[in-house]
Amino acid sequence: MPEKLLKITVEGETAVEVPPGTTVGGALESVSGKLAGRSLAASVDGVLRDLSYALAGDASITPYDASTPQGLDVMRHSASHVMADAVLQLFPGAKLAIGPAIEDGFYYDIDAPRAFTLEDLPAIEQKMQEIIKADLPFVRREMPRSGARAEMENAGEIYKVQNIDAAEGDVISFYRHGGFEDVCRGPHVPSTGRIGPVKLLSVAGAYWRGDARNRQLQRIYGTCFPDKKQLKQHLLRLEEAKKRDHRILGRQLDLFSIQPDIGAGLVLWHPAGGTVRHEVEEFWLQEHLKRDYRRLYTPHIASERIYHKSGHLENYADMMYSPMDIDGEPYRVKPMNCPAHIMIYKSGIHSYRDLPLRYCELGTVYRYEPSGTLHGMLRVRGFTQDDSHIFCTREQIRSEVFGILDLIDVMMNTFGYRYSAFLATRPEKSLGTDEEWDYSTDALRNALEDRGLDYEVDEGGGVFYAPKIDIKLTDSLGRGWQGPTIQVDLNLPKRFDVTYRASDNTDTETVIIHRTVLGSMERFVGGLVEHYGGAFPLWLAPEQVRVAAITDDQAQYVRDACAVLRNAGIRAAADLRNEKLGFKVREWQMAKVPCLAVAGPREAAENLLNLRVRNEEKAPVAGPVQLDKLVQTVLNQVESRSLWPAEVDLRQA
């Protein structure tokens, strides 16, 4: 009796029949040699597999090459194995921990006999090139958990033993290329020769499993791309990112500092940084007041009782700081603003006619972050959130979320960010009924569709108490940033018995919508520094116009001009130093001030200023200009919150 053939659908269209045991790669080969040749891995009935995976039944296959996120991840994970192989060849005695693919690259955590340095990377990279050139096949083997654990224990691979203990299922897989083998669930590219150009980037310390109580390992970061051109472009972006690092520019432009005597993760805003923050906050407040938000102020500490009631102590104790004793009662510095906002709402009785109520606060909160995760202004322990809570009825969710999306669009466009939206749905572990999750998720979805906003569904990506909309920002270098978030809370209204008096005179549960538009001011301003490369647009710049005298004879004229500018509300400073003009111009350029107004004998005699701007090409005015026209031009640009004089049109970047 002839063997029954398997029916295989490729890319949802092409159907082929193959014998049982045919590999995924073989099935693709039967469709097209080119298709098989460029594929690195494939989804088989929704599960990512190696091309060497043997088919046992009818299946649907979607192949992935290096141009796809899935294929590129597989390539980068394979590159991490090659890097681990190279390290073991060069540094015998090293112990391997984990080596995942990450956004834009990969890393491997290694317990090495000595600390790695940047000088070690070229040798490791050279050894990787040799392994890639050898085109060694990746071969998978499987064994029962107990046998795999015993094998790793006998080999002294302490980290692999812990990985096996944490793995799911009763079968553990290994991958081998050449003489190197690693515990890994895969998949991998067919052979090392299918790995594109690689580059090792940096070395850092990393605690095992991210816990400071564990041993510190050596983490080597690398990247990998399908071709040299893409790798080169990525490396150029990294170089540009280094130039824009907010920590470097923060010192150079005197924006902020973090000092040991104050504490790690606690930002000191210097006058220049404080000015940028003030302008952002003023814009934020104006846009909220236009939309009928009511501004709140709440204390920095609160009785521990409120956090028992809210569930924060139950669910977030590891990020809260130890209590302080006040009159025999434990108090905490606040990690969230929502309990205080709810108590303000509950201080009175509300009718359905009062809703929606929109509360907003620039509220400072404090959360513990491990020291190894702190990063300038982007990851801190004390930060000010642009927090808002909207109290409304179920029927109002859709329109309220629509209004939030409108606010997000206005603010992100003003700062020159492109953005994308994600609808995060119910996770496996969650609170609330099916009906509550359905109506709240549908309201978020309908609001997105009402605005015509394209979005992706993040299945199971919601928090345990709420579905949410996440907005991801794209900056001028094409990098992604976590942006605004909108959540429909199914937890706190019940915990606090938050109600309103309905039209039928019954007390009905109020809906609470949590949202931030900017997130934390520290992270947002730190991101702006990198987005603009420190060259803020005119309306945000700490110093908007610098007025420089060519000689001492123009000093009084420059002082008077600065007074006129300041009286008009323009941030102006005088440069009266006894230095050559070329020196003053270079200083102005280094300080990234938008405008330099130079006064010489002619300008002083004719009430002019010779204006230079960072981006002459798009300047609304330049060269000799009357002082009153300069004032009006600057005020017009500030009032419109124009991105001028940014180096590039950031919205098109």
Task: Answer yes or no: is 646 within a domain.
Answer: yes
Sheet containing 545-549, strands listed edge to edge, beginning at the edge strand earlier in sequence: 572-575, 545-549, 595-599, 608-613, 623-626
Q: How far apart are CA 333 and CA 331, in angstroms?
A: 7
Q: For residue 95, how far is the Cα from the chain centroid?
A: 31
List the catalytic residues: 338, 367, 385, 387, 389, 468, 514
Is the preceding peptide bond at 100 cis, omega within 30 degrees of 0? no
pTM to 2 decimal places: 0.84
Q: 185 with 166, same domain?
A: yes
Query: Which CATH number characterizes residue 42's domain?
Result: 3.10.20.30
DSSP 458: E
Task: Answer yes or no: is 29 within a domain.
Answer: yes
The SS3 assignment for 423 reads: strand
Q: 421 with 378, same domain?
A: yes
Q: How many domains does the chain have?
A: 5
Task: Answer yes or no: is 452 within a domain.
Answer: yes
Query: Which CATH number characterizes residue 401's domain?
Result: 3.30.930.10
Query: Which CATH number characterizes residue 148's domain?
Result: 3.30.980.10
SS3 letters for 98-113? CCCEECCEEEEEEECC
Q: 285 with 432, same domain?
A: yes
Q: 226 with 148, same domain?
A: yes
The pLDDT score that the predictor gives to residue 653 is: 35
Q: 518 with 641, same domain?
A: no
DSSP string, 467-496: -EEEEEEE-TTS-EEEEEEEEEESSHHHHT
Task: Answer yes or no: is 130 within a domain.
Answer: yes
Distances (CA, A) of 176 to 65, 165, 185, 627: 21, 21, 12, 74
Find the domain containing 440 and state its range. 256-297+337-531
Q: 549 with 426, same domain?
A: no
pLDDT tens-place string over residues 183-222: 999 999 999 999 999 999 999 888 888 777 788 899 999 9
Q: 315 with 357, same domain?
A: no
Distances (CA, A) of 552 to 557, 589, 601: 10, 22, 10
Q: 50 with 122, same domain?
A: no
Q: Of 316, 336, 356, at which residue does a domain stop?
A: 336
Task: Answer yes or no: is 536 within a domain.
Answer: no
Q: Which stretches of the chain drop beneath a pLDDT of 50?
A: 1, 648-653
Q: How far apart are CA 294 and CA 596, in angstroms?
A: 40
H or E, element range at 332? strand 329-333
Task: Answer yes or no: is 539 within a domain.
Answer: no
By residue count, the chain amounts to: 653
| Residue type, position 48, single letter | L
The pLDDT score that the predictor gives to residue 212 is: 73
Q: Which residues contact 440 (CB under 8 A, 6 or more apart)?
A: 397, 466, 467, 488, 490, 511
Q: 48 with 145, same domain?
A: no
CB 609 within 8 A of CB 625: yes
Task: Answer yes or no: is 131 within a domain.
Answer: yes
The pLDDT score that the predictor gives to residue 648 is: 43
The pLDDT score that the predictor gives to residue 314 is: 85
Q: 32 with 87, same domain?
A: no
Q: How far apart are CA 281 and CA 261, in angstroms?
A: 28
Q: Of 288, 309, 336, at which residue does a domain stop?
A: 336
Q: 40 with 177, same domain?
A: no
The SS3 assignment for 507 reads: strand
Q: 589 with 498, same domain?
A: no
The pLDDT score that the predictor gives to residue 8 is: 87
Task: Answer yes or no: is 639 within a domain.
Answer: yes
